[in-house]
Structure 1
Amino acid sequence: TAWAFALMLFTGGAGVLLAFMLSTVLEIPWTLGLAFFAAVVGILGAFVLQFVRKLHWNPGLLVASMHYRMSRLYALWYWITPIRMRIMLWLGLGMILVVFVAASWQLAIDNRIGDLIALWGTCLFFAGTLIWAEWQPQPRAPRNVPVRTPDAPPNILMIGSDTLRADRLGALGYHRALTPRIDELGASGTLFTHCYVPCARTAPSLISMLTGTWPHTHGIRDNFTGDENTQLKVEALPTLLKKSGYRTAAISDWCGSDMGKYSFGFDYTDFPQDQWNLKYLIRQGPKDLRLYISLFVHNRLGRLLLPELYYLGGVPLTQPLGKRARRLVSRLAESAEPFFLNLFYSTTHPPFASEWPWYTRFADPGYKGPSKFAMSRLTDPFEIIRRQGAPKEEFDLDQIIDLYDGCVAEFDDEVGKMLAHLQTCGLTDNTIVVVYSDHGMEFFEHDSWGQGNSAVGEASPRIPLVIRDPRRPARGIVDQVVRSIDLAPTLLELVGAPAVPGMDGVSLADCLSAEATCPQLDAFNETGIWIADIPGLPEAHLRYPDLLELMEVPNSASGTLGIRPEFNSRIMAAKDRMIRRGNWKLTYQPLSHGYLLQLFDVEADPSCKLNLIDQHADIAAELWPALRNWIGLSEPAPDA
């Protein structure tokens, strides 16, 4: 409320200032009533201006806080083309400048020097505030690049996007050319086509990737973790690299708050507080008030003073994050020490909103449904829970996939900008670049949508993984099964850091050489916590209550959300699991009495629709002991 009042004072004051200049030029008597009217016009005018600007350039910001149907705004959206927006903006600025010059001239003629000084000072205040809030300097090459010795360890740059599916890469045959920069990077390095995460939820996936361990080793099994468990049991990659002289940094938007919640050990971080926090969610305020404030603070002012609204979940931040990340690279390049930077975008995360023009790139221009700018009805916790259990028929799936593909293309564009910036900074030849995701996304391939809901399909547990080490020749595509837990030991070996005995992953450094063979590895995956009753599960599948009944706030002082302890064993027992070995995949689903095993030939059946367990019982018998053993590492294993 205080911020809304402050914004009204600022915008109302701007209206009063403009009215004062007009009254001076037109010689209209200045009255209190005129000032009040001007303030109201200023507040309403600023709101309309920002609303129209955001509707065109970043409609996802409106979707995240709107109570009302976005379809009511479609006619206005069609009318406000970029050319019209620019014409109106320059006409408005030109008129204000003319009025300002005329008012200054009139005050000078009337010898009202005090009023003239006040006018100039007030105008400078308003202009300076707006410029400071909106200023986003372009990244530049570092001013001083130190000379490094030839044997100096390389920098490491990880670029990730939340919920990026592996099958969207053009190099893997997707029908749209979404990822030319990532494809080119993979061609000049190594592209792993079958990389699996152990749990397709952000927190356990990122922790496994950066520690090289399974979830049952590091202890984080889902996103909802109390304060007492945020201190990791194992050392993460940033801590290990610091021992070898690296400076470490991480930068992200709203999806990357987990990197600040857990003890990864980064020297420098730039991302919001934990999003799974009741106090943080309450500070975002009711939707109408949140919408009004968000229109004015989606800038540097909001990032520094109102992070709860700037980092509001679902609001696109791809382009400003990319600029900040490239400026950070320039600063890191000015030191003689090697750096490790993890850059993590929310670009491809639901509700698949993106900045202009990306949300229009593949979408049908004539679409008039509720998901024109973003996947609809995902801005309220109760709506999200209900939608998670909704059938496919409730979704405009073609439009949603078109929006998602636009998000993938925007992320690829950001990867290209970062690679170009590395070249500008002179870092291309001494920087290992990794492109990754924390998990994929299910689009009803197995009757549900989201991530971490199914271990049967490939869409959620499989991620793209590209590693380019400029010191090694290109390897290209590697089809062998690898795991995200293998990335940390791989990077440690590539930079000459000591291996860590406690890691579950193995180094893939040999896979980067064309003449070498990759190790034959088993990949495992388990589902996350279901927030609702998921469609497509077997009727007798083990179940538990919806998310709101599962959650509690263990520490009211911090507000962190966690899972009630009495549900932990039930949640763990209900998880689906899978093992992937070669072209075979065995899945396990716990039932109220026993369990269901299914076997798929992923090479012949990428969608995992044809269960071959009866035809290849010998393969299932070979895989089941390994999967059963992996399950038994965290809970009592099911009977054979």
Structure 2
Amino acid sequence: MMRKRALNRISRPVGFLGVLLGVSVFCVFQYCVALLRLTDQSSGMANKFSALARDKYMDFLILENLYVLLAYLILGVCFAFVLQPFACLLCAKYRFFQGWKRFLPGVIGAFLIHGYFTLRLVETRPYFLDDAKFGYWYYEILNVVPDVAKPVVFGLLFSVLPVAILGYVLVWHWRGWTGARRLIAGAAVLGLSGLIVWKAGLFGGTARGKEMADDGERMNVIVIGSDSLRGDKLGYSGYVPRRKDGLAAGGVSPVIDELAGRSIVLENCYTPIASTLESGTSMMASQYPHKHGFRHMYPNKERVLQTQAETEPIAGVLAQKGYDTAVFGDWCAGYFELMPLGFENVSVSSFDNFKIYMSQAVMMAHFVVPLYFDHPVGYAIFPQLGSFAQFVTPDVVTERVEKRLGNVSKKGKPFFWHVFYSCNHLPYRNPEPYSSMFTDPNYMGPNRNGVDFDIDSFIGGTDLENKWNVLPKKEIQQIRDLYDGCTRQFDDNVGKILAALEKNGLAENTIIVITADHGDNLYEEGVTLGHGLTFNGELHANHVPLVFHVPGMETRRVNEIVRTIDIAPTITKLLDVEQPASWQGRSVAGWIDGSEVPEDRAFYGETGFPFIQFRVNGVERPKLPPMDQMTEIVESFNYQFVLKEEFEGPLVAAKQRCLMTKDWKLICTPSADGGRHFDLFSYAGDGYEKVEPSAGNDAEFSSLRKALESWMDEGIETPAAGIFSGI
């Protein structure tokens, strides 16, 4: 027995605590660097909210920084566990690591592991690195490997190697443990495995409604959308990306293109407002913004409660008919926490509020959190990670949908679901392979993994138009290519949902709708980036895709204008459910089943919150302060950002409005002196061209202006046929 213990002492010259001491040096260094990073970020921001965080919420920031110490404690123990076998080897072989220097292998090993996992992050989730402000030397190391060899090399390096090392470490410790320690270790492994399975099971969302029950063979409906997905940037619309090699050879949307080929495609669908909360409410409640009351993205509590009381969203209508209703999404779908829109089951990230922003700033400054805790166990330890944009990824959303499809297929109850992704939203960050799928492989500029977005300028100033206008063509092309990768990521997730429908025997009884809340501007003529800010250009920010796949119906394409407020009435008509009288949209189900001839419809729209007031020639626009001065944080309303009451009227009065028919477009821009400036455009075959009102088109101009002002001032929509009826 004494000899065995002596052998153990010889074979293990460094104890666990000795290695842990060395790892602790690494953890203290990382913690201090994170605090300095957080301080630099805060002091470098000049907007009102950063000052508010420092002045009023310092206690909260301190507590968050103390809470994150748990991550360093867990990391230190895990690192020491992994490094002890190698520390013992070094100390046994090299006399340098004797005496007080025995803790050095723990220090060196911790930094090596950290560097390894950072390289792994570059390959798997590069969007995290931009937030950490890290340099590009990581990319240069990985680029040493030839492209043709990367799959094999990276597979061995980032998948096989860690498994092999972990296996060696476990065997090494197991051989040195006594029977009691082995029992404890086995119990720990079983407990951890159970925790992982349990937390993964929780990802299905929280049910707010009654249990599903058996039902008949009524059609299911699943509406799948991506925030900021443009109607003209999909393959079926004729779009071809710049790159066509490698993974890009399939185009930006091979799955959706195939689905569109056996569906009804409505090629000219527009949202009345290009801002998520407002447009989502318009689509689900079939009402214009002036009707449902959300005129911007920062409503107060009273407005939210009033809208909830006065609208009749389609999810609520179908729930009353026995449908299971659920919404799934990541951070862009967070508004459903604020405004559930009739859905009984909500599985989304929390809606934007100031405390979430502050907590995210802390967690992202401590880079060990996204690096080592982006998994189910990490979410159990740090639940707030589920509210952060970077952690609830599109893949997580899709997994939730797949799981619930498996459950609902066994129940037989019809369902109405909405799946809403953030894939195409600024700043266009996504993981590999999408991040580089369509971009120039030689590009190494500031927009490598996403738009180099200055949030301080966005919320604290209104001069971004000047900054974005000076981008060189190379940067613009990179941004467009990133957007294409975002679309492909969305397309792949759509493919997984379609496969899950097939797997569960639901494909032949499910209506599938592909759409978006709004589009985005991508440096077309007259515009830069963003949405809901202007009607300059070709209304790309309001143009969304609309594909209706109805099993058994013939494929067709419709060119006439439709609106997102027409989607809910169309679905209820297809399901033979009566639509509420409060809905303002009109069904196009007859266009889909071929029983009606499509007719021209008029599009009416308004801009959203004025983060930027884009210039309009010949108009001095009303002056509005930046976002951080127009809004406030209301603690009693879950720390939501809310527009100050004194800006409600001026904001609405400053909005641009638009009326568009198949032949004409009229844009109204309010001026600083209280007047209204109108720009007239006529359709020229491949777009709308600006024309001056003259004797030749005076009647059309007058009719359009009368209809637009009637909608603006009285909320009355004049149908397309009625606009020119007097001419």
TM-score (norm 1): 0.88
What is the distance in 2 between the residues matched to 1:268 and 1:481?
Answer: 33
Residue in 2 that maps onto 1:619 = 700
Structure 1 residue 224 displacement after superposition? 1.0
Which of 547, 569, 587 does residue 466 from structure 1 map onto? 547
Residue in 2 that maps onto 1:510 = 590
1:362/1:405 contact within 8 Å kept: yes
User: Structure 1 residues 104, 303: closer, same or farther in 2, change over 3 A?
Assistant: closer
Residue in 1 that maps onto 2:117 = 50
Residue in 1 that maps onto 2:74 = 10
Residue in 1 that maps onto 2:321 = 244
Which of 586, 601, 606 does residue 521 from structure 1 map onto? 601
Cα deviation digits, residues 177-212 of structure 1 (max 9, x gap): 322322232232211111111110000000000001
Amino acid at match of 2:221: I
Residue in 1 that maps onto 2:220 = 155
Residue in 1 that maps onto 2:171 = 101
Q: Secondary structure at the match of 1:230?
A: helix
User: Structure 1 residues 127, 482: closer, same or farther in 2, change over 3 A?
Assistant: closer
Structure 1 residue 22 displacement after superposition? 4.9
Q: Secondary structure at the match of 2:561?
A: strand
Amino acid at match of 1:574: A
Residue in 2 that maps onto 1:562 = 642
Structure 1 residue 301 displacement after superposition? 3.5
What is the distance in 2 between the residues matched to 1:569 and 1:305?
Answer: 45
What is the distance in 2 between the residues matched to 1:379 and 1:61?
Answer: 16
What is the distance in 1 between the residues matched to 2:576 and 2:345?
Answer: 23
Structure 1 residue 490 displacement after superposition? 1.0
Residue in 1 that maps onto 2:469 = 392
Which of 171, 175, 179 does residue 236 from structure 2 map onto? 171
What is the distance in 1 between the residues matched to 2:425 and 2:87?
Answer: 51
What is the distance in 2 between the residues matched to 1:131 and 1:97?
Answer: 21
Structure 1 residue 604 displacement after superposition? 2.2
Cα deviation digits, residues 507-545 of structure 1 (max 9, x gap): 111010235212432211101111134355654122311
Amino acid at match of 1:56: E
User: Structure 1 residues 31, 564: closer, same or farther in 2, change over 3 A?
Assistant: farther
Residue in 2 that maps onto 1:278 = 354
Residue in 1 that maps onto 2:44 = none
Amino acid at match of 2:259: L
Which of 558, 562, 566 does residue 482 from structure 1 map onto? 562
Amino acid at match of 2:652: M
What is the distance in 2 between the residues matched to 1:397 and 1:62?
Answer: 21
Please say which of residues 335-344 and 448-457 is displaced more in the overlay.
448-457
Alignment of 1:258-407 (within 5 A): 258-275=335-352, 277-286=353-362, 289-303=365-379, 306=382, 308-313=384-389, 317-378=393-454, 385=461, 388-389=464-465, 390-394=467-471, 396-407=475-486
Alignment of 1:151-230 (within 5 A): 152-176=217-241, 177-230=251-304
2:229/2:516 contact within 8 Å kept: yes
Which of 414, 418, 443 does residue 493 from structure 2 map onto? 414
Structure 1 residue 34 displacement after superposition? 7.9
1:198/1:214 contact within 8 Å kept: yes
Please say which of residues 180-189 and 431-440 is displaced more in the overlay.
180-189
User: Structure 1 residues 415, 263: closer, same or farther in 2, change over 3 A?
Assistant: closer
Q: Secondary structure at the match of 2:138?
A: helix
Please say if 1:255 is aligned against 2:317.
Answer: no
1:246/1:338 contact within 8 Å kept: yes
1:302/1:310 contact within 8 Å kept: no
Q: Secondary structure at the match of 2:75?
A: helix
Please say if 1:442 is aligned against 2:512.
Answer: no
1:19/1:35 contact within 8 Å kept: no
Residue in 2 that maps onto 1:424 = 503
2:355/2:639 contact within 8 Å kept: yes
Which of 652, 666, 680 does residue 572 from structure 1 map onto? 652
What is the distance in 2 between the residues matched to 1:387 and 1:131?
Answer: 49
Please say which of residues 202-211 and 28-37 is displaced more in the overlay.
28-37
User: Whose helix fraction is larger, Structure 1's or Structure 2's?
Assistant: 2
What is the distance in 1 between the residues matched to 2:220 and 2:540?
Answer: 31
What is the distance in 2 between the residues matched to 1:39 and 1:466?
Answer: 57
Gaps of 5+ in 2: 1-64, 205-211, 242-250, 717-727
For these two proteins, the number of residue pairs brought into alignment is 618
2:562/2:603 contact within 8 Å kept: yes
1:388/1:534 contact within 8 Å kept: no
Q: Secondary structure at the match of 1:561?
A: strand
Amino acid at match of 2:669: Q
1:316/1:355 contact within 8 Å kept: no
Amino acid at match of 1:12: G
User: Structure 1 residues 505, 588: closer, same or farther in 2, change over 3 A?
Assistant: same
Please say which of residues 94-103 and 616-625 is displaced more in the overlay.
94-103
Please say which of residues 299-308 and 90-99 is displaced more in the overlay.
299-308
Structure 1 residue 130 displacement after superposition? 7.5
User: Structure 1 residues 40, 542: closer, same or farther in 2, change over 3 A?
Assistant: same
Amino acid at match of 2:632: E
Please say which of residues 129-138 and 564-573 is displaced more in the overlay.
129-138
Residue in 2 that maps onto 1:66 = 132
Structure 1 residue 2 displacement after superposition? 4.1
Residue in 2 that maps onto 1:142 = none
What is the distance in 1 between the residues matched to 2:233 and 2:691?
Answer: 25
2:195/2:377 contact within 8 Å kept: no
Structure 1 residue 84 displacement after superposition? 2.9
Structure of greater Rg:
2
What is the distance in 1 between the residues matched to 2:354 and 2:91?
Answer: 55
User: Structure 1 residues 304, 119: closer, same or farther in 2, change over 3 A?
Assistant: closer
Please say if 1:587 is aligned against 2:667.
Answer: yes
Please say which of residues 83-92 and 423-432 is displaced more in the overlay.
83-92
Structure 1 residue 33 displacement after superposition? 6.5
Please say if 1:631 is aligned against 2:701.
Answer: no
Alignment of 1:532-543 (within 5 A): 532-535=612-615, 538-543=618-623
What is the distance in 1 between the residues matched to 2:133 and 2:103?
Answer: 30
Cα deviation digits, residues 127-156 of structure 1 (max 9, x gap): 777788899999xxxxxx99864xx32000
2:468/2:529 contact within 8 Å kept: no
1:456/1:578 contact within 8 Å kept: no
What is the distance in 2 between the residues matched to 1:53 and 1:129?
Answer: 25
Please say which of residues 495-504 and 201-210 is displaced more in the overlay.
495-504
Q: CA RMSD in A?
A: 3.2
What is the distance in 2 between the residues matched to 1:227 and 1:39?
Answer: 53
Q: Secondary structure at the match of 1:168?
A: coil
Gaps of 5+ in 1: 139-144, 636-640
Cα deviation digits, residues 413-451 of structure 1 (max 9, x gap): 221221122111111111011001000101232233100
1:540/1:591 contact within 8 Å kept: yes
User: Structure 1 residues 508, 305: closer, same or farther in 2, change over 3 A?
Assistant: farther
2:464/2:612 contact within 8 Å kept: yes
Residue in 2 that maps onto 1:638 = none
Amino acid at match of 2:157: M
